[in-house]
Amino acid sequence: MRGDDPLGDDPLGEDPLGDDPQSDDSLGEDPLEDLPHDGGDDQDEAHPLPPDEQESVEADLEDLESMRGVFQSQGAKGVVIACSECGSNHYYGWDLLRESLEHMLKTGEPRMHEPAYQPREDDYVVWDYGKGYVDALADVGLEEGSRMEITACAWCETPVEQHFAFCPACGRPMAVQRLYRELLGRGMDEREVRSLLVRAGFEPFS
């Protein structure tokens, strides 16, 4: 069920939203497709997955959260997956796919869902591309877990979530704060770091 790394020799040099989403050949396996589909509503009785399938679904959940951490801040709304059964591309929002996988772990059955309404293909990440991309980041020590944690905007003090690329209130980039903290963590003097950021064109923060 795990796909091959589609990124080639230079995984960090690719388009972060993947290859042409209109080509089914570029899409990965649907993490929901090799489990039974009953076509009905949620079942009252749970049917635990076999150990190998449970392990695979748990791995898909970890991959999904890693992809979300990387791509949501770039504007991606979820993932697109080619269905080998119907031949169509399926579009899953981040929360929708997570809930479906969690439901599968609990009941052994996939949760039925409404398809995305007229999805914009460029808003969705190809599953296998996203999987290979986050694997490549982990290989070079840049996995999502190593990202500098930011909980509030340094300029206006608005609370922010970890995946935010910009402050929702003032619009300033969170990357500046992460860079600031990274440089301090590497032993640079705070005054020197602030001066460097201002010279680079960033507005000083308190």
pLDDT of the residue at 183: 84
When the pLDDT of each residue in the chain is averaged and rounded to a whole number, the result is: 75
Has residue 12 got a pLDDT over 70? no
Residue 145 to residues 62, 85, 105, 116, Cα–Cα distance (Å): 12, 35, 24, 30
> Average pLDDT, stretch 100-117?
78
pLDDT at 202: 83
Q: Is the pLDDT of residue 40 over 50?
A: no
| pLDDT, mean of residues 80-99 | 86
Kindly indicate the confidence band of residue 203, based on its pLDDT and cuts at 50, 70 and 90.
confident
> Is 73 buried (19+), middle (13-18) or exposed (0-12) by CB count in 10 A?
middle
pLDDT band at 94 (very low <50, low <70, confident <90, very high): very high
> Which residue ranges make up each domain of the chain?
11-144, 148-199
Task: Name the most confidently modeled range: 4-8, 12-16, 92-96.
Answer: 92-96
Task: Report the distance separating Cα 84 and Cα 69, nearest Å.
Answer: 27
Residues with Cβ within 8 Å of 132's Cβ and at least 6 positions away in sequence, in order, are 3, 4, 5, 6, 7, 11
pLDDT at site 136: 80
